[in-house]
């Protein structure tokens, strides 16, 4: 004999009464219930109505499992008649534990969403014995495909970067993100990374929120920088990510290393050249990251190539400037001093970087204002790449936006 009071407690739903319980195979329980709540709201005029008109058609709602059994709640919604509206409209009672036209209770939908975090539609489909289309319907109902600006109070720092939707294709989308109430949020997935597309998105941000933006972090792509400047103007600092900057000046050292290693292959004995094994990895490391063996190899390389030593030391010096707790003004003076050292060295491996440095002087030195990086954007890029691999190359931008939101914010939303 099933104790209905205990079963009610397991269901976790209030204001209902269990009428009967039917156990079916394979391992399915159908619990017939009725609502104890009275009244509804007219779908015509919106006013409260209490004139009972009967019951609507029977519906089945998938609910949370009990002891390994699938659970379905079977209910005939109460209907109420409006005495005010012409034609005396009738309306079905709406209960807070399920959504009209859904085949699941709210609790079960949220359980499905939790299971979908860091997973796939296919895996959850197998685990829950649900069709992938049914799961996607839940996702579409609970997660918007665009950011909802209404509950957001401020943006402060915006990050923007790009990612290719399809491997090997030039099918780039722009990713715009921000920390909102301590949570990393995607606020835009743009179909194009052009200046016009990014500018249009920035302009779509409500004015009250645009006024809260203090900094935009980006790589050195001109389209992103130009769009941010045209919308936010001089009031907002545009900050070039230091790691993109570091990649540029380190690339200069690496290019020099390749040339010098070709020269050394010709000029050194095989034994001496082999003693420089793994030098290409070692030169890419900072000195404090090296092991004792790696330091010996690096010093050996420096003996054979003073030019690599000089370039490596200049690279380390610029990194030290970035790491130092200095103001923007101090940072500018130190970088100008570094540029003079490069000029005095007569090295040409930094020429490309120096050109970029002169072109984006303010954006690069804005890093020292608040020591901001777009590292959170790069981390988000990696997250999206994982989602794409896991979801078998998802290319629908709306679905991608939903999946990124779910993986980043799902635990807080559906806890």
Averaged pLDDT for residues 82-104: 93
Averaged pLDDT for residues 157-168: 79
Closest CA to 20 of 7, 36, 31: 31
Q: Confidence band (pLDDT; 50, 70, 90) for 396?
A: confident
What single-letter DSSP state applies at residue 93? P
Q: Confidence band (pLDDT; 50, 70, 90) for 373?
A: low
pLDDT score at 83 = 92
Mean pLDDT taken over the chain? 91
Among 76-90, 346-360, 386-400, name the one with the lowest average pLDDT: 386-400
Structure tokens at 274: 């082999």
CA distance 404 to 207: 26
- CB within 8 A of 410, min separation 6: which ones? 113, 114, 116, 117
CA atoms in the 13 A half-sphere facing the CB of 302: 13
In sequence order, what DSSP letters do the residues of 277-312 get, joined into one string? TTHHHHTTS-GGG--HHHHHHHHHHHHH-HHHHHHH
Whether cis (ω within 30° of 0) applies to the bond prior to 26 is: yes
CATH number for region 157-241+394-401: 3.30.420
Domain boundaries, the chain: 4-98, 157-241+394-401, 242-370
pLDDT score at 324 = 93
- What is the helix (H) or strand (E) element at residue 135, kind and residue range? helix 132-142
Q: Confidence band (pLDDT; 50, 70, 90) for 167?
A: low
What single-letter DSSP state applies at residue 235? G
Averaged pLDDT for residues 68-96: 94
Most confident residue range from 157-161, 226-230, 396-400:
226-230
Place of tokens 């489909």: 125
Averaged pLDDT for residues 43-67: 95
pLDDT score at 388 = 77
- What is the helix (H) or strand (E) element at residue 34, kind and residue range? strand 28-35
Question: Is residue 85 over pLDDT 70?
Answer: yes
Question: Is residue 128 over pLDDT 80?
Answer: yes
Averaged pLDDT for residues 131-156: 94
pLDDT score at 170 = 64
Is this model's pTM higher than 0.85 or not?
no
Among 27-36, 95-104, 374-383, name the one with the lowest average pLDDT: 374-383
Q: Confidence band (pLDDT; 50, 70, 90) for 242?
A: confident
2 contacts 21 by C-beta, under 8 angstroms = yes
pLDDT score at 191 = 87
Residue 360: CB atoms within 10 Å: 17
pLDDT score at 293 = 93
Q: Confidence band (pLDDT; 50, 70, 90) for 203?
A: very high
Closest CA to 178 of 389, 410, 405, 414: 405
Q: Confidence band (pLDDT; 50, 70, 90) for 387?
A: confident
Among 99-113, 154-168, 184-198, 382-396, name the one with the lowest average pLDDT: 382-396
Averaged pLDDT for residues 159-169: 75
Question: Is residue 169 over pLDDT 70?
Answer: no
Question: Is residue 362 over pLDDT 90?
Answer: yes
Q: Confidence band (pLDDT; 50, 70, 90) for 56?
A: very high
pLDDT score at 253 = 95
Structure tokens at 132: 């992938």
CA distance 157 to 228: 12
């Amino acid at each position: 004999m099933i104790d209905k009071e205990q079963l009610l407690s397991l269901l976790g739903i209030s204001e209902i009464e269990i009428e009967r319980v039917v156990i079916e195979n394979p391992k399915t329980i159908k619990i017939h219930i009725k609502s104890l709540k009275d009244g509804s709201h007219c779908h015509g005029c919106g006013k409260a109505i209490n004139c009972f008109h009967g019951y609507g058609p029977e519906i089945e709602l998938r609910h949370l499992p009990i002891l390994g059994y699938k659970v379905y709640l079977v209910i005939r919604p109460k209907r109420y008649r409006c005495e005010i509206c012409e034609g005396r409209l009738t309306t079905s009672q709406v209960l807070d534990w399920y959504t009209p036209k859904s085949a699941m209770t709210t609790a079960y939908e949220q359980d499905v969403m939790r299971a979908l975090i860091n997973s796939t539609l296919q895996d959850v489909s197998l685990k829950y014995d649900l069709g992938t289309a049914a799961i996607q319907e839940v996702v579409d109902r609970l997660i918007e495909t665009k950011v909802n600006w209404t509950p957001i109070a401020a943006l402060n720092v915006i990050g923007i970067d790009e990612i290719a939707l399809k491997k090997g294709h030039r099918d780039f989308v722009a990713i715009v993100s921000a920390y909102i109430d301590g949570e990393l949020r995607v606020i835009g997935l743009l179909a194009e990374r052009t200046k016009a597309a990014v500018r249009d998105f920035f302009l779509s941000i409500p004015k009250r929120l645009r006024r809260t933006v203090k900094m935009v972090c980006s790589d050195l792509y001109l389209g992103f920088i130009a769009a941010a400047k045209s919308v936010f103007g001089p009031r907002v600092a545009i900050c070039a990510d230091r790691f993109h900057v570091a990649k540029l000046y380190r690339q200069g050292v690496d290019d020099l290393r390749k040339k010098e290693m070709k020269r050394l292959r010709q000029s050194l004995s095989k034994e001496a050249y082999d003693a420089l094994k793994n030098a290409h990895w070692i030169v890419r490391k900072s000195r404090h990251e090296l092991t004792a063996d790696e330091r010996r190899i690096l010093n050996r390389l420096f003996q054979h190539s003073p030019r690599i030593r000089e370039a490596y030391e200049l690279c380390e010096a610029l990194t030290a400037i970035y790491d130092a707790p200095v103001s923007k003004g101090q940072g500018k003076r130190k970088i100008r001093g570094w540029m003079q050292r490069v000029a005095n060295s007569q090295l040409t491996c930094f020429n490309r970087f120096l050109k970029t440095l002169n072109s984006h002087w303010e954006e690069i030195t804005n890093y020292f204002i608040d020591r901001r990086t777009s590292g959170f954007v790069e981390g988000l890029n990696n997250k999206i790449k994982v989602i794409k691999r896991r979801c078998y190359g998802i290319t629908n931008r709306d679905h991608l936006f939903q999946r990124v939101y779910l993986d980043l914010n799902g635990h807080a939303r559906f806890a």
